[in-house]
């Protein structure tokens, strides 16, 4: 078996990858922040070696990377709140640099870095972006996009300089169990179950099913070309259709009211005022200007390069929604690559 290490293993994306690797009998180590809860790897705790380290602290990584052949770097701050800019720099940028250097020192055979479609850029309405999109044409920006872009570039520069075999995946938005219900996409499923998903913004989003993400991760490790980036995305969908689908699967009434871009932006500005009342940025309302701006555009992407070079086959987002429902209900999550 190939020794594998997953950073960010307690998060929704990293833990899904860990559970899939364990299910296939792989030799898996999970990088866990000291003092952190095990989150989504708790169900497979007995089959995983826990290695405590902090990607922000380079000195802790050498021991954690020892004896590893493949590293999936999934750790990151993925909350699109500009107030978290300093934390994003520390994790998304400095953490990426530290991981690349540690992987090079350890002689890791392949590093798969988790970036984001935000690092590709936000295309104008009516355009579907691929890996070649000119980021200077983005319709908006935020701290998350900036730090993921810098982190991706820094990691690839180190990889080239140090002779490290690194490949990048750029997932679109992921609905997944074990995610943050305040800022994660699973929160919309929870709202639907409560009958609280009543309105929708005018834009649209690219979504990646969690099982598609896992298969994309593994395909990148097996077939990706060093130094290349690959968009992993399952479906482009308007918020109207997405919220309608989530409500349908939750047996809840669909949202009936579409909100204009002007109203969404005004609500975002109000959210920013409210957010400043809290010293802890994680107490901020979800709808602040950076999130409001994302929701009024149709930010669509294609994964043709991943399909062509990695054998990536998009399935559906319904399977992810079912997994979130099972998680919210406290039941067993049935992970599969079929919807």
Calpha distance 80→279 (Å, rounded): 17
Q: Is 305 a catalytic residue?
A: no
pLDDT value of position 60: 95
- Out of 148, 218, 235, 272, the active site residue is 148
Q: How many CA atoms lie within 13 A of 331 on its CB side?
A: 9
pLDDT value of position 337: 33
pLDDT value of position 339: 25
Calpha distance 66→105 (Å, rounded): 9
The structure's pTM equals: 0.94
Whether 314 contacts 175, CB under 8 Å: no
pLDDT value of position 280: 87
Under CATH, domain 3-180+206-233+300-315 is a member of which superfamily?
A: NAD(P)-binding Rossmann-like Domain (3.40.50.720)
Q: From the CB of residue 196, how many other CB atoms can be counted at a distance below 10 Å?
A: 12
pLDDT value of position 279: 84
pLDDT value of position 277: 87
pLDDT value of position 335: 57
Q: From the CB of residue 37, how many other CB atoms can be counted at a distance below 10 Å?
A: 10
Digit-by-digit pLDDT tens for the chain (339 residues) are 799 999 999 999 999 999 999 999 999 999 999 988 998 999 999 999 999 999 999 999 999 999 999 999 999 999 899 999 999 999 999 999 999 999 999 999 999 999 999 999 999 999 999 999 999 999 999 999 999 999 999 999 999 999 999 999 999 999 999 998 888 899 999 999 999 999 999 999 999 999 999 999 999 999 999 999 999 999 999 999 999 999 999 999 999 899 999 999 999 999 999 988 888 888 888 889 999 999 999 999 999 999 999 999 999 999 999 999 999 998 666 554 332
Query: Across the chain, which distance is largest between two alpha carbons, in Å?
Result: 56
pLDDT value of position 332: 61
pLDDT value of position 336: 44
Q: From the CB of residue 41, how many other CB atoms can be counted at a distance below 10 Å?
A: 26
């Amino acid at each position: 078996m190939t020794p594998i290490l997953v950073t960010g293993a307690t998060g929704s994306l990293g833990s899904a990858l860990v559970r899939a690797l364990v299910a296939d009998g792989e030799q898996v180590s999970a990088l866990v922040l000291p003092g952190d809860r095990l989150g989504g790897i708790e169900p497979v705790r007995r089959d995983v070696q826990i290695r405590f380290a902090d990607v922000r602290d380079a000195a802790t990584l050498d021991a954690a990377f020892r004896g590893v052949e493949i590293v999936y770097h999934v750790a990151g701050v993925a909350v699109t709140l500009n107030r978290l800019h300093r934390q994003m720099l520390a994790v998304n940028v400095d953490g990426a640099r530290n991981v690349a250097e540690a992987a090079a020192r350890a002689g890791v055979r392949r590093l798969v870095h988790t970036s984001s479609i935000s690092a590709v850029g936000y295309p104008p309405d009516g355009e579907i972006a691929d890996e070649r999109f000119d980021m200077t044409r983005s319709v908006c920006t935020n701290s998350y996009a900036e730090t993921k872009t810098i982190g991706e570039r820094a990691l690839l520069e180190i990889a080239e300089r140090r002779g490290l075999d690194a490949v990048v995946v750029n997932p679109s938005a992921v609905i997944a169990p074990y995610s943050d219900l305040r800022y994660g996409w699973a929160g919309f499923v929870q709202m639907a179950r409560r009958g609280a998903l009543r309105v929708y913004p005018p834009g649209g989003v690219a979504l990646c099913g969690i099982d598609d993400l896992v298969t994309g991760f593994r395909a990148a490790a097996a077939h990706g070309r060093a130094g290349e980036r690959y968009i992993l995305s399952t479906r482009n969908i308007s918020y109207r259709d997405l919220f309608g689908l989530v409500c349908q699967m939750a047996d809840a009434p669909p949202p009936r009211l579409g909100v204009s871009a002007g109203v969404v932006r005004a609500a975002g500005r109000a959210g920013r005022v409210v957010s400043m009342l809290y010293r802890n940025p994680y107490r901020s309302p979800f709808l602040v200007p950076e999130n409001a701006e994302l929701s009024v555009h149709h930010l669509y992407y294609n994964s043709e390069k991943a399909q062509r070079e990695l054998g990536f086959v998009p399935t559906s987002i319904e399977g992810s929604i079912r997994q979130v429902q099972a998680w919210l209900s406290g039941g067993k999550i049935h992970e599969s690559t079929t919807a």
